[in-house]
A and B are shown apart, each in its own frame.
Chain A
Amino acid sequence: MIKRILKNKLGLSGLLIVLFMSSLALLAPFIVKYEPISLNIEEALLPPGPEHLLGTDSLGRDLFSRIVYGARISLSVGFVAVGIAVIIGIILGSIAGFFGGIIDAVIMRFTDIMLCFPSFFLILSLVALLAKPSIYLIMVIIGLTSWMGPARLIRAEILSLKEENFILALKILKIPTPTIILKHLIPNALSPVLVNATLGIASAILVESSLSFLGLGVQPPTPSWGNILMEAKSTLGVAPWITFFPGLCILITVLGFNLLGEAIREELK
């Protein structure tokens, strides 16, 4: 399948972007010259130049290193939050799909109820409960509010797979139920979730940056693309590069995951 995605131009670009950003994040300590949180007031608000590739912010911190370390935050939040969402979704969706009946009805009702809330509202409410939001809690919160999509998808797949001959054969052979669910049903039900997850990472990155922008996410001085933009508000006219580059990074990264997700979806059709 990967080969086919490579043939699709847009999908290929998406994949390249994702890989590029991931490597930036992973190799962060090795690529940057300056520490992302080290201040140097004398060098504040410098435009991009040979010394500071993307310029400096109002506290003299090198923007390039802040952005590269911000990539770590965004990508890790993206992957972990979606990971949590998918795991919860798989658990709830497979139980609902496999056992049916009341269990299914209850879980689906619960899913419907959760889907009624604007997700950002829910996320903000959960963030409000915490005195000091940390990155790990943000991951969990985003995960806790995004599992509904994967749950529905898994349930739908399992509902149709349940009736397939090979499952009936396994039942006749008296293979224990958990084995059937874990080894046979779930792996086969995963493909639509893959699309959902890829697009979900994009969405999680947007949510994290929005939260950080509002001051409710990753707290400064730890750099996140969102909170760099929060600090950029005050220097918008004077130092546009501080606004421009982090936003551009968010755009490119989200675009990458979206293109990749759409390419996978086209493939699976």
Chain B
Amino acid sequence: MLRYIIKRLVNMVPLLIGISFVSFLVIHLAPGSPTSISLFNPKISLEAREKLNKLYGLDKPVHIQYFNWLKDILKFDFGYSLVDGRKVSSKILERLPVTLTINILSLLVIFFTAIPLGLYSGWKKGSFFDRFTTLFVFIGFATPSFWLALLSMQFLGVKLGWFPISGITSIDFEYFPWYKKALDFLWHISLPVLVASFGSLAGLSRYSREKFLEVLDKEYIRAAFAKGLPSSQIIYKHALKPVFLPVITILGLSVPGLLGGSVIFETIFSIPGMGRLFYEGVMMRDYPLIMGLLVIGAFLTLLGNFLADLAYTWADPRIKYSK
């Protein structure tokens, strides 16, 4: 199995290079140079402009720029923001934890909600519960997340006052003992987690249902029934694992979707996360920041896939103990 992991890691290298290349390409397709936006100010002389260009290495040919940038990324140096001159990597790093927390919590919520829903729907195939859940998840899938965010803000936040609608901390956060700080944080991210998970519930519960029904049809389940085992044993011991494994892969694949969604709900709920940073970067045309976030986003996606693959490999005896 170690060989498998190493093989996967080695395969990722060309992907990572490709990611950096595409990120670079995307930004440099922009008409004008990346610093042209800061030159709306006509007072900046030609000299100053040239100095700025030199600072950002824009006077060199494109491929040299790419290699320099690539070298820097490998040292985790993503350059400097055009907006406030701070290091891009610091800006990303201070926002990363929040986004990761919200997304991981969402994954957990989805995992513990969607899968049981899907399994129970499959077990009671054709029943009212099954059909109702199917309709419910389809609607969930079709709901625009920003609309849901607005509605939940209005009803759960403003009208009912159950949850706060912006930020991640209360005003007197600093004076809270550590456990109250944790609770306060969780309370603040409740609505974002709700919005983030809602859409993905559909996909995963349908998938779990499908896989469960597939597994129930298998010979070894029929043999388990023929052995006279109690249903609980059959479901929990025999049927769950074959369902869980592909489901975990799907979870790993939902990372890019969650990251994309973060842009929206972090902006609406004023959460200081990576998504909102991306939005701000785009609005301000802060190209180094955008490039950095593209690379990080793609890297996190790859990581998610890799972890899911790893989990699968470890859990499936056919791979773990291959002949």
- Interface of A with B (CB < 8 Å)? 10, 109-110, 112-114, 116-122, 124-129, 202, 206, 209-210, 213-216, 226, 229, 232-233, 236-237, 240, 243, 246-247, 250-252, 254-255, 258-259, 262
**C-alpha gap A62/B154 in the complex (Å):** 23
Number of interface residues of B (CB under 8 A): 50
Please provide the chain B residues from 225 to 242 with a CB less than 8 Å away from any CB of chain A in the complex. Answer: none
- Interface of B with A (CB < 8 Å)? 14-15, 18-19, 21-23, 26-27, 29-31, 138-139, 141-147, 150-151, 153-154, 158, 255-257, 259-261, 263-264, 267, 278-279, 281-283, 285, 287, 290, 293-294, 297-299, 301-302
Contact of B22 (CB < 8 Å), options: A114, A127, A226? A114
Contact of A117 (CB < 8 Å), options: B22, B147, B285? B22
Question: Chain A's nearest CB lies how many Å from the CB of B198?
Answer: 12
- Do A121 and B293 touch (CB < 8 A)? yes
Residue of B nearest to A120 (CB): B260
- Do B18 and A125 touch (CB < 8 A)? no
- Do B259 and A118 touch (CB < 8 A)? yes
Given A121-B256, A216-B283, 7 further pairs, Cβ under 8 A: A116-B19, A121-B263, A122-B294, A213-B144, A233-B150, A236-B158, A258-B141
Residues of A within 8 A of B281 (CB): 128
Contact of A243 (CB < 8 Å), options: B29, B151, B257, B297? B151
Question: Chain A's nearest CB lies how many Å from the CB of B196?
Answer: 13
Residues of A within 8 A of B158 (CB): 236-237
Question: Chain A's nearest CB lies how many Å from the CB of B318?
Answer: 23
Residue of B nearest to A254 (CB): B142
Residues of A within 8 A of B278 (CB): 121, 124
Question: Chain A's nearest CB lies how many Å from the CB of B22?
Answer: 6
- Do B142 and A258 touch (CB < 8 A)? yes
27 CB < 8 A contacts A-B? A109-B14, A109-B18, A110-B18, A113-B19, A117-B23, A118-B255, A118-B297, A118-B298, A118-B301, A119-B260, A120-B261, A122-B26, A122-B294, A129-B29, A210-B146, A213-B144, A216-B283, A229-B150, A233-B150, A237-B154, A243-B151, A247-B151, A250-B144, A255-B138, A255-B141, A258-B142, A262-B138
Residue of A nearest to B21 (CB): A113
Question: Chain A's nearest CB lies how many Å from the CB of B96?
Answer: 14
Question: Chain B's nearest CB lies how many Å from the CB of A20?
Answer: 15
Of A110, A118, A129, A252, most buried by chain B (CB within 10 Å of CB) is A118
- Do B259 and A236 touch (CB < 8 A)? no
- Do B142 and A255 touch (CB < 8 A)? yes
Residues of B within 8 A of A258 (CB): 138, 141-142
Residues of A within 8 A of B151 (CB): 243, 247
Contact of B27 (CB < 8 Å), options: A10, A129, A237? A129
- Do A124 and B22 touch (CB < 8 A)? no
- Do B142 and A116 touch (CB < 8 A)? no
Contact of A124 (CB < 8 Å), options: B18, B279, B287? B279
**C-alpha gap A238/B259 in the complex (Å):** 32
Residues of A within 8 A of B282 (CB): 124-125, 127-128, 216
Residues of B within 8 A of A251 (CB): 139, 142-144, 147
- Do B26 and A243 touch (CB < 8 A)? no
Question: Chain A's nearest CB lies how many Å from the CB of B228?
Answer: 33
**C-alpha gap A256/B36 in the complex (Å):** 44
Contact of A202 (CB < 8 Å), options: B142, B257, B297? B142
- Do B256 and A117 touch (CB < 8 A)? yes
Given contacts A128-B285, A129-B29, A237-B154, contact A229 B290 (CB under 8 A): no
**C-alpha gap A92/B267 in the complex (Å):** 36
Residues of B within 8 A of A125 (CB): 26-27, 282, 290, 294
